[in-house]
A and B are shown apart, each in its own frame.
Chain A
Amino acid sequence: MSRLYLARNPRVAARSLGGEMMIMSGRDSTLFTLNKTATILWQAADGATPLDRIVELRICPEFEVEPAAALQDAETLARELASHDILQISESPIPAVAAGESR
């Protein structure tokens, strides 16, 4: 099974406030508020860490879920975030990504 790599889309603006991560698309000004899992994916999306490692290290300990199911859910979520141009996803590491600013 191939691994999936995530990177933040540098063309979105992002801010964390009051424990909520908000993202605005630079393309069409749509505002997104990420849930807890999506926020973990966003924060961990460095282009180098594969999704299964993110799930193992960040999601499973947080939610106490079974790794296989968690990975499946995380992949679905990552693809949804990619469909909104929030994340970039690839089956190989994503080099030299200028991650979206996260203050």
Chain B
Amino acid sequence: MRVHTTDPAFLDLLQNRYAGFVGSSDRAEIDFDVDLSQSSSVDPDADVTVTQRKGKWSLQRGDFRAEWEPASRRGWVRQSLNPYSIDAVLRIVHTLVLARQGGFLLHSASAIRNGKAFLFAGVSGAGKTTISRLAPPDATLLTDEISYVRKQSAGYIAHGTPFTGELAKLGENVSAPISTLYLLAQGPENRIDPVDPAEAARSLLANVLFFAEDEELVQATFHSAFEFVSRVPVARLTFRPDARVWELIG
């Protein structure tokens, strides 16, 4: 994804925020022109509207407006000089792209250990930041907040993302096949319990990021979740906040 801006301050902001995820390739799947003329306060929790009409996606929140036309691979963003609006646009566009490919963004921390990726899903307070903070040195953190899940013929791949949570630490820009999805719960002891398939699908769907008011993509994402749980083991990871929980992982 390529972002065009003539504002040096915004360019610096992007390079700092997405350090490790910024490339110089001439090829881009999507080009966005950013217009920094909009002045408004940023409320990341404000409602976002994502609709499709005549082949164009329209994205709107109080602090930004954006359009993206998949056929021409071009779009624009109108926002003020801040990192949160473009971050939201990037997340939303990635959910739209991934939905057509059988993948998704997931509210989960993720890390690679011994060549395998592990996802730790849960709502705020479930322990995504804690499990990330407790990761041992031989684990590579992909994200503490939003996992990037891509479908491939042989299975599913987790990629690092620059989308951070409370840890405010960028993930590494690497990827690995997903071994297990853990549903996080905090408790008095560290343990792993099986999750029945229906519960696994429900929990996965509850944590998939999806913004679009679009029946076709809703259905695609729904079926992608079932496909995922049919191919990737899902278990409940109950843990207490100490590093020994990682003895169970990997």
Contacts and interface: CB of A to CB of B under 8 A. Distances in A.
B222 interface: yes
A53 B222 CA distance: 32
A13 B202 contact: no
B234 to A, nearest CB: 12
Interface string A1-36: 000000000011101011110101111110101000
Interface residues of B, number: 17
Interface in B213-236: 213, 215-216, 218-219, 222-223, 226, 229
A14 to B, nearest CB: 9
The secondary structure that dominates the B interface is helix
Q: Give the residue among B196, B201, B216, B229 with the most A Cβ atoms within 10 A.
A: B201
A37 to B, nearest CB: 17
Interface residues of A, number: 19
Given A24-B205, A31-B205, A33-B202, A13 B210 contact: no
Contacts of A25: 218
Interface in B189-212: 196-198, 201-202, 205-206, 210
B218 A26 contact: yes
Contacts of A18: 196-198
Given A24-B218, A26-B215, A27-B215, A15 B223 contact: yes
10 contacts: A13-B222, A15-B222, A15-B226, A17-B197, A17-B198, A26-B216, A31-B202, A31-B206, A101-B219, A101-B223
